[in-house]
Structure 1
Amino acid sequence: MGESPSSSGRQRADARRNRDRLVAAASAVIAEAGAGASLEEIARRAGVGSATLHRHFPRRAELLEAVLRDRVRALRDRAEDLLAASSAGAALVGWLRDVVAHAATVRGLGPALTGYESDPGFSPHTTIREAAQKLLARAHREGSVESSVTVDDVLQLANGIALATESLPNPAQRADTLVALVAGGLLHPPSSRKPLDSTIE
């Protein structure tokens, strides 16, 4: 006797919730212990058994990619929200803080995925670069960031801070402090802002 449509729907919903809990738990554990984090600890924090974890993610790399994809999408969505902020310069710096906190806590996620054939339609670098470009272009038009500052400048700055802090006891907090320090060099004070051409870049 087959399953009823309602029963099948509940099972799919339960499976999605379990998967979401596993990705969230993995993100937290990886931030603490690195890409080699215990799968048993991840399952425990997600409130599921090891069998459930392995059913959703047969290989460690699949779980790591899901964590990376989830984080990058969150950064993309955050950038979209910040495009409506009243201050483009502050929005850019706020988003950079999120990017650096992400980069400082991935703890070897990139190298752990070396050689893993992921979804070719998913490019973390491209997604983050496009989000950064939108925020930077708005800051250029506002005049809060020099027009000579490029998206590569901004992302290399974020990457440098992340690399400098990733091995520290509290990398996200230290990285946030450094972003706050360099923001003074990135942004013009209000009195020195120069109105720029309003042409969309």
Structure 2
Amino acid sequence: MRVDAQRNRDHLLAVAGPVIAEQGIDVSMRDISRRADVGLATLLRHFPTREALLEGLLHASFGDLTARASELETAHTAEDALVSWVRDCVAWTTEYRGVTVLMAAAIEDPESALHASCVTLRAAGARLLARAQAAGAARSDIDGDDLFALIAMLAWVGDQPTLVPRANHLFDLVASAVLTRADGDRGTGAPGER
């Protein structure tokens, strides 16, 4: 890609992130192009669909979360690694309102621009879950698909203004349902806090 084209693409992504965080994934492509001070045709040349724009925006974050799973695998107990990673995922998904709906659809659609990234992210979580299960720290009757769905559910809670005050408590309830420890209390702060 030419240097000026890459600069334009980077500018569009830099503008799109805050707009999508503010208005959600259904924001108009026209609104994004206006905020970026470019024509709609320029935006569509770089990102022909909203999904392509989101893939461009989210790709680095998916990579970061996948890398975080690998770090946690080697640096923490199986239980702590799983809970920390799920907490990170929930915190990240609440940054972009509505992204969990798109991710859930993309994981089932191999033609989706987000499919490969979502599958990789789900696999990272499944590895952490399997490690926790092997250590006897997590229930054996759930799988990576269930974990991905639980993350989506917890992220949805974070998208609901009336439920945000309960988000940490609900996270702890879900964690205690997944974990096999008797006390299950993982009260370590709001989603995203470390």
**TM-based fold match above 0.5:** yes
Counterpart amino acid of residue 64 in structure 2: A
Question: What residue in structure 2 maps to residue 183 of structure 1?
Answer: 175
Between stretches 103-112 and 139-148, larger displacement belongs to 103-112
For structure 1, the 5+ residue unaligned runs are 1-8, 193-201
Question: What residue in structure 2 maps to residue 50 of structure 1?
Answer: 38
1:21-170 alignment runs, 5 A limit: 21-37=11-27, 42=32, 49-51=37-39, 53-109=43-99, 110=101, 118-119=112-113, 122-168=115-161
TM-score (norm 2): 0.66
Counterpart amino acid of residue 151 in structure 1: G
1:66-107 residue CA offsets vs partner (Å, 9 max, x unmatched): 224333333222212222122121111111112223333433
For structure 2, the 5+ residue unaligned runs are 185-194
Question: Structure 1 24/93 Cα, relative in aligned 2: closer, same or farther at 3 Å?
Answer: farther
- CA shift at 1:174, angstroms? 5.5
TM-score (norm 1): 0.64
Mapped to 1, the partners of 2:171 and 2:7 lie a distance apart of: 35
- CA shift at 1:53, angstroms? 4.3
Residue 123 of structure 1 aligns to a residue in which SS? helix
Structure with max Cα Rg: 1
The answer to whether the 8 Å contact 1:88/1:142 transfers is yes
- CA shift at 1:38, angstroms? 5.6
Mapped to 2, the partners of 1:17 and 1:190 lie a distance apart of: 53
Question: Structure 1 159/36 Cα, relative in aligned 2: closer, same or farther at 3 Å?
Answer: closer
Question: Structure 1 71/86 Cα, relative in aligned 2: closer, same or farther at 3 Å?
Answer: closer
Mapped to 2, the partners of 1:49 and 1:16 lie a distance apart of: 16
Which has the bigger relative contact order, CA under 8 A and spacing at least 6?
1
Residue 50 of structure 1 aligns to a residue in which SS? coil
Tell me the percent identity. 38
Mapped to 1, the partners of 2:140 and 2:31 lie a distance apart of: 47
Count of residue correspondences: 177
Mapped to 1, the partners of 2:17 and 2:163 lie a distance apart of: 16
